[in-house]
Amino acid sequence: MEDTAKIEFAGKTYEIPVIVGTEGEKAIDIQALRQKTGLITYDPGFGNTGSCKSAITFMDGEKGILRYRGIPIEELAEFATFKETSYLLINGKLPNQAELNRFSVLLNDHSLVHEDMQHFYQSFPRASHPMGILSSMVNALRSFYPELQTMEEEINITVTRLLAKVRTMAAMSYKISRGHRVIYPRPDLAYTANFLNMMFDSPVRPYIIDNDVARALEVFWILHADHEQNCSTSAVRVVGSGRVNLYAAISAGISALWGPLHGGANQAVIEMLTQAYEKNIPVRRLVERAKDKKDPFRLMGFGHRVYKAYDPRAKIIKKWCHTLLDKLRISDPLLEIAMELEEIALKDDYFIQKHLYPNVDFYSGIVLRTIGFPTNMFTVLFAIGRLPGWIAQWKESMDDPDWRLSRPRQIYIGSPQYDYIPVEKRD
Ligand code: CMC
């Protein structure tokens, strides 16, 4: 196999090393490119740039494959818990029983949040988006839990604190936004059931945990737990490369996830479907608008930077949509619209030629609203799911001997040099 590529430039030929990943994917290693040739690369959106070597997640966008640490997403969604999946991503292997027990005890022990943090929550305006609140509060954790003595302790305890507390903080923000009493975590409940209880239990209506509902949320979190170098994960790695503390890096990831082209798409899908339903907009009209280059409208929940086939996560969550609605005997008109939209789009030349398929967000919102989550909490739920992935990627970057401060270059296209003009002489 070729282990070098050649670049010809200004009459000279340069040999560029090629590196090959476990699954045969290849990259030209351009670390010495500028030094040797004077050239840099230009790749807006980094669609052709490998920013790191990683042993965490493998995706094949053409074949619709997703694996965490080698295990197919379909198997994890069928058999694993979110807790095991988190352990797998962060530690590189599935935990044995003793490791799992210890992990559970630690998550329980760290699940409370400093009482003073509640004052901060109270100060946000009622209309604040919970993603803005969550990213601020996660950053604020550093002030409540200062740096620990050794690096090992700092990493292990901070990781556990984040996994245990972000879930509590998310539920807390929901309760406070409604003006209700905060519900504390319970040691007798499993990770997901505990979160559901903190969200929905109330002194006047005790929450009864349904195993299928808990499993649906668990699967949603497993499907979102990592997705290699996506926008928010890259944000965590880039911010982390400045050697900030993990809370600040995760807070940056939460901010990046908020956008409607990334994690905010699950909220945007439901808003799009609700508008179609309430205003009686024909599904074909949405498809026509999405195809119209003069219209900024996009079909939310469709398309993906890497998947050019059906998103494997979308297949799984779509199945859960039906399971949950059947189980709870609910008929959701938004599901009908979503299915019709998918059917029309998948037969349309525009979507076929651009390889635009439903992504995970297309159906996940229907699962979440069936469980009872308000739309503005959807992206927060994505953030809880993505947390172990962000942590695993940050940890890997810290241990990577090739890792350096992130600092891309640019091609300057501004004005050439000219002299300062005193204010009285300016036009
Ligand atoms: N509706 C209509 N046209 C689309 C859509 C869409 N949802 N997505 C892409 N296109 C078109 C786009 O207009 C462009 O056309 P042209 O080549 O004629 O200019 C072409 O397809 C390629 O699009 P792109 O924006 O260059 O592709 P990208 O890889 O930069 O964007 C994306 C990926 C996810 C941002 C985009 O597909 C999109 O905006 N989708 C809707 C938002 C969404 O569902 N986001 C969730 C992504 S999955 C969750 C996650 O992992 O974060």
Instruction: Name the more confident of 150 and 113.
Output: 113
Element (H, E) at 321: helix 312-327
Residues 292-311: what's their mean pLDDT?
A: 93
SS3 content of the chain, % helix, strand, coil (to 5): 55, 5, 40
Domain 272-371 has CATH 3.60.21.10: no
**Among candidates 46, 77, 30, 408, which has minimal Cα distance to 233?**
46
Q: 16-30, 112-126, 251-265, 372-386: which range is least confident on average?
A: 112-126
Is residue 261 within 6 Å of ligand 1 at its C-beta?
Answer: yes
| CA–CA distance, 313 with 322 (Å, rounded to integer) | 15
In this structure, the residue with its CA closest to atom 34 of ligand 1 is 304
Atom of ligand 1 nearest to the CA of 262: 52
| CA–CA distance, 361 with 151 (Å, rounded to integer) | 37
Using an 8 Å Cβ cutoff, are 95 and 85 in contact?
no
Catalytic residues: 304, 361
- What own/partner pairs with CB < 8 Å and gap ≥ 24 does 274-278 have? 274/334, 276/337, 277/333, 277/334, 277/337
Element (H, E) at 306: none
**Among candidates 129, 56, 48, 97, which has minimal Cα distance to 305?**
48
Q: 76-80, 129-133, 160-164, 214-218: which range is least confident on average?
A: 129-133
Residues 353-365: what's their mean pLDDT?
A: 93
Sorted by where each begins, the domain ranges of the chain are: 4-60, 72-263+387-398, 272-371
Instruction: Name the more confident of 154 and 227.
Output: 227
The length of the chain in residues reads 427
According to DSSP, the β-strands at 71-72 and 57-60 are: unpaired
Q: HEC string of 140-208?
A: HHHHHCCCCCCHHHHHHHHHHHHHHHHHHHHHHHHHHHCCCCCCCCCCCCCHHHHHHHHHHCECCECCC
Q: Residue 292 pLDDT > 90, yes or no?
A: yes
- What's the 305 CA to ligand 1 centre distance in angstroms? 7
Atom of ligand 1 nearest to the CA of 47: 29
- What's the 384 CA to ligand 1 centre distance in angstroms? 24
Is residue 290 within 6 Å of ligand 1 at its C-beta?
Answer: yes
Q: Residue 404 pLDDT > 70, yes or no?
A: yes
Q: Residue 1 pLDDT > 60, yes or no?
A: no
In this structure, the residue with its CA closest to atom 22 of ligand 1 is 354
Is residue 301 within 6 Å of ligand 1 at its C-beta?
Answer: yes
Instruction: Name the more confident of 331 and 296.
Output: 296
Instruction: Name the more confident of 1 and 137.
Output: 137
- What's the 299 CA to ligand 1 centre distance in angstroms? 8
Residue 10: CB atoms within 10 Å: 7
Place of tokens 């476990």: 22
Residues 95-123: what's their mean pLDDT?
A: 93
What is the residue-wise DSSP string for 6-66? Answer: EEEETTEEEEEEEEE-TTS-EEE--TTHHHHHS-----GGGTT------SSEEEETTTTEE
Percent of the chain whose predicted confidence (pLDDT) is above 70: 99
Instruction: Name the more confident of 227 and 155.
Output: 227
Q: Residue 2 pLDDT > 70, yes or no?
A: no
- What's the 353 CA to ligand 1 centre distance in angstroms? 13
Q: What is the mean pLDDT of the chain?
A: 94
Is residue 19 within 6 Å of ligand 1 at its C-beta?
Answer: no
Is residue 342 within 6 Å of ligand 1 at its C-beta?
Answer: no
**pLDDT at res. 417:** 98
Is residue 233 within 6 Å of ligand 1 at its C-beta?
Answer: no
Pocket mutation for ligand 1, best pick of 229, 286, 298 (most atoms within 8 Å of C-beta): 298
**pLDDT at res. 127:** 83
**pLDDT at res. 73:** 98
Q: 135-144, 150-159, 202-211, 407-416: which range is least confident on average?
A: 150-159
In this structure, the residue with its CA closest to atom 25 of ligand 1 is 305
**pLDDT at res. 122:** 84
pLDDT digits (tens, 9 = 90+) for 146-184: 877 777 777 889 999 999 999 999 999 888 888 888 999
In this structure, the residue with its CA closest to atom 31 of ligand 1 is 305
Residues 356-369: what's their mean pLDDT?
A: 93
Domain 4-60 has CATH 3.30.2140.20: no
Is residue 224 within 6 Å of ligand 1 at its C-beta?
Answer: no
pLDDT digits (tens, 9 = 90+) for 310-333: 999 999 999 999 999 899 888 889
Instruction: Name the more confident of 97 and 116.
Output: 97
In this structure, the residue with its CA closest to atom 4 of ligand 1 is 298
What type of residue is 6? K
Element (H, E) at 67: strand 65-68
| CA–CA distance, 214 with 191 (Å, rounded to integer) | 9
Is residue 361 within 6 Å of ligand 1 at its C-beta?
Answer: yes
Using an 8 Å Cβ cutoff, are 261 and 293 in contact?
no
Assign 273 a pLDDT band (cuts: 50, 70, 90): very high
What type of residue is 267? Q
Pocket mutation for ligand 1, best pick of 73, 295, 297, 305 (most atoms within 8 Å of C-beta): 305
Half-sphere exposure of 289 (CA within 13 A, CB side): 15
Residues 233-253: what's their mean pLDDT?
A: 96
Is residue 289 within 6 Å of ligand 1 at its C-beta?
Answer: no
CATH topology classification for 72-263+387-398: Citrate Synthase; domain 1 (1.10.580)
Percent of the chain whose predicted confidence (pLDDT) is above 90: 86
Could you give the C-alpha distances from 34 to 29, 258, 407, in angstroms and in order? 12, 35, 14
Is residue 295 within 6 Å of ligand 1 at its C-beta?
Answer: no
